[in-house]
Amino acid sequence: MQHGRTTLSKFIIEEHRRHPAQDEQLAALVNDIQTACKYIGARVARGALDGAIGAAGMKNVQGETQQKLDVISNEIMLACCEWGGQLAGMVSEELEHAYEIPSGYPRGRYLLLFDPLDGSSNIDVNVTVGTIFSVLMAPPGVTEPTVEDFLQPGTAQVCAGYALFGPADMIVLTLGRGVHGFTLDPEIGAYILTHPDLRISEETREFAINASNMRYWEPPVQRYVDECLEGKAGPRQTDFNMRWIASLVAEVHRILMRGGVFMYPKDKKDPAKPGRLRLLYEANPMAMLVEQAGGRASTGRGRILEVQPEALHQRVPVILGSRREVERIEHYHCEFDRGAGERFDSPLFNTRSLFRAAH
C-alpha cells in the first residue's frame, strides 16, 4: 500500500478549496454517494452467495423486470443519501415518482438522480455493471421539489458520474472541470485517484451497437455501420472493430479508456419510444462525462445536454464518444432529414493523406 495517494474524499475537499463556489454540501453528497457505491459493490460481488441473483418478481415504472440486486441497490442509495441534509429530493429508475426526503431529516439544496444498477439484466453472467448518478441544484428556496423541479436540461448538472463494479471497482466523475477515475483499494476501503484528467481521442476505429436491431435502424445509422463494416474496401478505407456489452457503464468506460463510439439510436422497433436510454439519469450524466473528456454526445439530431426534459423517465436516442465519429453520424442524420442520401465524402473525415484515393 502506498501512503499519501489522493483518495476521492481528499480530492473532493481539495476541489472545494480551489473552487469555493463548490460548496460543502456537494462535497458531503459525493461522499455519501461513494459510500453507497461501496455497499452496492459489495452486494454485487456477493450476489450468488447471498441468493441475490435473479428476478425480484416485480416490474419498474418502465415495465422492465426488476432484478433482486436492482431493488437492493436502490434501497442502499436511498438510505445512504437521504439523511445527510444535502438533498431536497431524489429520482431513481426504480421508482415511478420522485422520492421525498423523510421528514425527520434536514433538507439541502441539491437533487440526486440515479440508476442504481445499470446492466443488471446481465448480472447472472457476471458482466460488469454499475451505478450512474447526476446531481442538480434545486431551485432557490425549494425544499419539497415537484416533478418540474427535476426537469432541468443536462447543462444544469453540477456533478455526474458512475461507479463500475467489475474486475476492479471504480468511480468516474466530473464536477464540471474534467473527468477523473478512482479505483477502490480493498486494503483500505478507499477510492484512490488512478486516472486523472481522462481524455477521449477525437478519432477511433471502434464502435458499439446492438446489431440485432439492424432491421429497425434509421437510414443514417445503417449507412454509418455499413461503411464501418466495409472496412478498407469501403469509403472509410480502414477496418473497424465492433463491440457490444449491453451495460452502459461498461461501454462508456471503454470509450473513456481507449476511445470509440457508442450508439443506442432511435429505431422503429417500438415507434412509441423516441429512444431506449433514460435522459435524466442515464443519458445526461454520461453526456456530461463524455463532453468533459473532450468527446461528443448527441441524439443524432442535437446535443443531449440541451434536450429539455418533459418527464422523469423520458427516453432519448444516445450516440456518444470520439468527437469526429459522432459528428459524422450527426451529419448523416442531417443529410437524411434534408432528403439527401449520398455518402458523405469530406477530406476532414477521410484517412489523412496528401492524396485522395482513386474511386
In a domain, 282, yes or no: yes
Q: Please compute the mean of the pLDDT values over residues 205-226 and round it to a whole number.
A: 97
Residues 187, 219 within the same domain = no
Q: Are residues 175 and 261 in the same domain?
A: no
**pLDDT above 70 coverage of the chain, percent:** 93
Smallest Cα–Cα separation from 323: which of 265, 260, 269?
Answer: 260
Please check the confidence at residue 343 and state whether its pLDDT lies above 70.
Answer: no
Q: In terms of domains, do 119 and 148 share one?
A: yes
Last residue of a domain, one of 165, 195, 225: 195
Q: Is the pLDDT of residue 110 over 80?
A: yes
In this predicted structure, the answer to whether residue 18 has a pLDDT above a threshold of 70 is yes
The answer on 189 and 318 residing in a single domain is: no
Q: How confident is the model at residue 347 (pLDDT cuts 50, 70, 90)?
A: very low
Locate 326 and state its grid cell. Answer: 459522432
pLDDT band at 48 (very low <50, low <70, confident <90, very high): confident
Is residue 97 located within the same domain as residue 155?
Answer: yes
**What distance in Å separates the CA atoms of residue 168 and residue 189, rounded to the nearest whole number?**
13
Question: Does residue 200 fall inside a structural domain?
Answer: no
Beta bridge partners of 160: 134, 174
When divided into structural domains, the chain yields a total of 2
pLDDT > 50? residue 299: yes
pLDDT tens digits along 247-283: 999 999 999 999 999 999 999 988 888 899 999 999 9
Mean pLDDT of all residues in 183-203? 96
282 is in an annotated binding site: yes
Q: Where residue 350 falls among pLDDT bands split at 50, 70, 90?
A: very low
Phi/psi at 263 (nearest 5 deg)?
-130, 125
Q: Are residues 69 and 124 in the same domain?
A: yes
**Considering the domain boundaries, does residue 1 fall inside one?**
no
Which residue has better confidence, 250 or 60? Answer: 250
Tell whether 36 is covered by a domain.
Answer: yes
> 138, 168, 195 — which closes off a domain?
195
Let me know whether 156 and 241 are in one domain.
no
- Average pLDDT of span 128-140: 97
Q: Is residue 356 in a domain? A: no
Distance CA 312, CA 267 (A): 21
Report the CATH number at residue 220: 3.40.190.80
Q: Residue 2's pLDDT is what?
A: 56
Residues in the chain: 359
Q: Identify the band that residue 341 occupies on the pLDDT scale cut at 50, 70 and 90.
A: low
Q: Are residues 289 and 267 in the same domain?
A: yes
- Among 238, 247, 227, 229, which Cα is nearest to 332's? 227
- Whether residues 33 and 149 share a domain: the answer is yes
In a domain, 283, yes or no: yes
Terminal alpha carbon distance of the chain: 59
Higher-pLDDT residue of 139 and 121 is 139
Structural domain containing residue 163: 8-195
Q: What angle, 0 to 180 degrees and rounded to 10, lies between the N-to-C axes of helices 248-258 and 284-292? A: 10
- Residue 19's pLDDT band (boundaries 50, 70, 90)? confident
Q: Please tell me whether residues 105 and 131 are part of one structural domain.
A: yes
Tell me: is residue 8 an annotated ligand-binding position.
Answer: no
Long-range contacts of 239-242 (CB under 8 A, 24+ apart): 239/205, 240/205, 240/206, 240/207, 241/205, 241/206, 241/207, 242/206, 242/207, 242/208, 242/209, 242/211
Q: At what angle do helices 323-337 and 219-230 cross, to 10 degrees?
A: 130
Q: Which helix (H) or strand (E) holds 279?
A: none
Give the residue from 195, 214, 244 where a domain finishes: 195
Distances (CA, A) of 219 to 302, 321, 344: 17, 20, 13
Buried b (16+ CB within 10 A) or exposed e, 144-160: ebeeebbbbbbeebbbb
9 known member of a binding site: no
User: Would the annotation count 92 as a binding residue?
Assistant: no
The residues that bridge with 100 in the sheet, in sequence order, are 89
- Is 93 annotated to bind a ligand? Reply is yes
Please state, for a pLDDT cut of 90, what percent of the chain lies above it: 80
345 located within any domain: no
Q: What is the CATH number of the domain that holds 182?
A: 3.30.540.10
Confidence of residue 351 (pLDDT cuts 50, 70, 90): very low
Residue 121 annotated in ligand binding: yes
Residue 358 falls inside a structural domain:
no
pTM for this predicted structure: 0.92
